[in-house]
Amino acid sequence: MKAGRPGLPAITKQLQGTDRKDREKEGINFTLITVCPKPQVWLDGKAKRYFKQFCNLLIGKGMLTDANVGHVLIMAQEFAKYESATRELNKNGYVITTGKNDYEQPSPFVAIANNAQKNYRDIASLFGLDPVSASKIVGTKKVEKDDFEQMQNKYSQQT
């Protein structure tokens, strides 16, 4: 974790007039995906549907890139696993009985559901899909020029 004040986005520094070329950081630029990719064959049916839903959601926010499609695959599979485990728990209950003495123990699907939920939350937070991380994530949006800047450019070119 880096100590001190968090850095400002480059556009904010430009608007404030405090940007300097010697302090610019070159980030890695990934290709933005605008069409939902085909899901991998190893995903089950429900996970494929979730993959398409998550991709369309992230495409709409301008956040799906070629580098994070793998994360979306895993997120969809974990969500489908959570759903399947929860269905199993609703059908058979949270406690199973084993052995001659009718020993009761928690269903293994409790651990499966809990683990899948944790994994889903961890990956979803990378995309800002929860309230806490949503405020920290900045999507790759096109920077639109404001009206004042367009007017300045128009008149500066005429003189």
Average of pLDDT values for 123-131?
Answer: 87
What span, in angstroms and rounded, lies between the C-alpha atoms of 126 and 38? 22
Top-confidence residue, 24 or 43: 43
Does 53 map to a domain? yes
Spell 123-157 as b/e; 16+ CB within 10 A means b: bbeebbbeeeeeeeeeeeeeeeeeeeeeeeeeeee
Does 122 map to a domain? yes
Average of pLDDT values for 21-39?
Answer: 81
Does 104 map to a domain? yes
Does 153 map to a domain? no
Q: Say what the pLDDT of residue 159 is.
A: 54
Q: Which ranges in the chain belong to alpha helices (H)?
A: 10-16, 45-60, 69-92, 108-126, 131-134, 147-158
Strand partners, 104: 97
Indicate whether 58 pLDDT > 60: yes
What span, in angstroms and rounded, lies between the C-alpha atoms of 50 and 46? 6
**By residue range, what is the domain housing residue 95?**
29-138
Does 23 map to a domain? no
What span, in angstroms and rounded, lies between the C-alpha atoms of 80 and 47? 5
What span, in angstroms and rounded, lies between the C-alpha atoms of 107 and 105? 6
Looking at the structure of the chain, the number of domains it has is: 1
Does 78 map to a domain? yes
Does 54 map to a domain? yes
* pLDDT tens track for 74-125: 999 999 999 999 999 999 999 998 877 888 899 999 999 999 999 999 999 8
Q: Are 73 and 36 in contact (CB under 8 A)?
A: no
Q: Are 58 and 64 in contact (CB under 8 A)?
A: yes
Does 51 map to a domain? yes
